[in-house]
Copies of this chain bind each other. A is one copy, B any other.
Amino acid sequence: MTRYSPLTPPPRLLMGPGPINCYPRVLSAMSTQLVGQYDPVMTGYMNEVMALYREVFNTKNQQTFLVDGTSRAGIEAVLVSAIEPGDKVLVPIFGRFGHLLAEIAERADAEVHTIEVPWGEVFTAEQIETAIKEVQPKMLAIVQGDTSTTMLQPLADIGAICEAHDVLFYCDATASVAGNPLEVDAWKLDAVSVGLQKCLGGPSGSAPITLSDKFVKTVRTRHHVEAGIRDEHHQSARGPRIRSNYFDLPMIMDYWGDERLNHHTEAATMLYCARECARVHLEEGQEQVIARHKVAGDAMLAGIQAMGLRPFGDLKHKMNNVVGVYIPDEVDGEAVRETLLLQFNIEIGTSFGPLKGKIWRIGTMGYNARQDAVLNTLQSLETVLRMQGMTLPAGAGVDAALSTYAEAANA
């Protein structure tokens, strides 16, 4: 018989590409006792979550709610609900999560067309427009911030292109939301999905999404009500049925909407969590939170450069909340990470695919987009690199970060 001790994890400072440490208020919210699924208190919380995430997403979209799963559950719900077998989907890929969008669309039997730029770059609006003209897809699916490369794809000019060509515009903004601007209505996005575990400062496990009226109209053509709760008002089966029950967005909309048709049992604790993440974010203020991520990211970058380390990728398009750092030739990248973790309780990230073994990724997200977290990480990295035999200008990283913070305070 196994028993195991109570949860007593070490107090890690999570400075990787996410997940990161939760805001303390978010942790507290998750220990709140439950109410029933159709309790007026619960449906009230559901409506509040919809309103709060409309603010987070900067949208008026009625259909703004949670998918119960990790951020890739949100992605799959959007794609599998919209795509009918044979539909053309265009996926511009600039990192690992572009590959993921293509893979999920392929499994939904879309005809997937991809364009790629080298890791560390982003697309121009012209490149995307050219591909849209050539492919004439039903949907454009693109990542906003891809932590695998630290790049932030500009989206502001793409919505108008999609609109002109009658293309649904979907974006996975999991890694970028709340740390970088995201203007769903102004940028004419039709669907956006995110997660809580990056700049929103929660754990993975709930995927807020927002859907434009145009997107909703498209997926509603495939609306089927579940057997067992069908009645004379809910018979309509039109387009081919969505292949997933769990990710059937029209059914989930009927559950979050006034109809309250039974679907899954809402993951109440993760709903409490998502609600508190949004409250923390909006109470501090979106612009303030993004500015806090910007200065933390700038300070980390300045510190890295002052230490003589080289950042990865096109810095004009770097996300605020993560930086890639070339691993110096003279050190063992994994040994550095392990010493930071086990001796300093600081986690920084490794990399995937073409960058594996070549760069570390250091994040400054959510609760950890803080001066003390940046300074502590830079000092500890300097110490560990010195332990590995490197010669570094003493204190140069932390001094540069302090200067960045001082300049920001005076600006």
Known pairs A9-B32, A14-B36. 7 more at Cβ < 8 A? Answer: A12-B39, A20-B34, A30-B269, A69-B73, A103-B228, A204-B264, A204-B268
Q: Is A310 an interface residue (CB 8 A)?
A: no
Of A27, A100, A228, chain B has the most CB atoms within 10 Å of the CB of A228
Q: Is A84 an interface residue (CB 8 A)?
A: no
Q: A252 → chain B, closest Cβ, in Å?
A: 11
> Which positions 165-190 of chain A face chain B at CB distance < 8 Å?
none
Nearest neighbor of A276 in chain B, beta-carbon distance: B7
Find chain B residues with CB under 8 A from A229 CB.
Answer: 352-353
Q: Is A11 an interface residue (CB 8 A)?
A: yes
The answer to whether A11 and B36 touch (CB under 8 A), given A19-B268, A48-B2, A352-B228, is no
Find chain B residues with CB under 8 A from A247 CB.
Answer: 246
Q: Mark A260-302, 1 if CB is under 8 A from B, else 0.
A: 0010111111101101100100110000000000000000000
> Which positions 301-322 of chain A face chain B at CB distance < 8 Å?
none
Find chain B residues with CB under 8 A from A392 CB.
Answer: none
Q: Is A376 an interface residue (CB 8 A)?
A: no
A35, B14: Cβ atoms closer than 8 Å? yes
Q: Mark A197-223, 1 if CB is under 8 A from B, else 0.
A: 100000111000000000000000000
Q: A195 → chain B, closest Cβ, in Å?
A: 7
B31, A27: Cβ atoms closer than 8 Å? yes
Q: Cα distance A262–B275 when bound, in Å?
A: 28
A267, B36: Cβ atoms closer than 8 Å? no
One of A135-143, A152-160, A237-245, A399-407 at the interface: A237-245
Q: Mark A354-393, 1 if CB is under 8 A from B, else 0.
A: 0000000000000000000000000000000000000000
Q: Cα distance A52–B70 when bound, in Å?
A: 23
Q: Is A117 an interface residue (CB 8 A)?
A: no
Find chain B residues with CB under 8 A from A88 CB.
Answer: none
Nearest neighbor of A203 in chain B, beta-carbon distance: B269
Find chain B residues with CB under 8 A from A353 CB.
Answer: 228-229
A204, B266: Cβ atoms closer than 8 Å? yes
Find chain B residues with CB under 8 A from A227 CB.
Answer: 99-100, 102-103
Q: Cα distance A347–B204 when bound, in Å?
A: 30
> Which positions 66-112 of chain A face chain B at CB distance < 8 Å?
68-73, 76, 80, 96, 99-100, 102-104, 107-109
Among B11, B19, B76, B265, contact of A18 (Cβ-Cβ < 8 Å): B265
Q: Cα distance A283–B1 when bound, in Å?
A: 10
A33, B21: Cβ atoms closer than 8 Å? yes
Q: Is A126 an interface residue (CB 8 A)?
A: no
Among B39, B103, B267, contact of A70 (Cβ-Cβ < 8 Å): B267
A265, B71: Cβ atoms closer than 8 Å? yes
Q: A180 → chain B, closest Cβ, in Å?
A: 19
Q: Cα distance A45–B8 when bound, in Å?
A: 11
Find chain B residues with CB under 8 A from A129 CB.
Answer: none
Q: A69 → chain B, closest Cβ, in Å?
A: 4
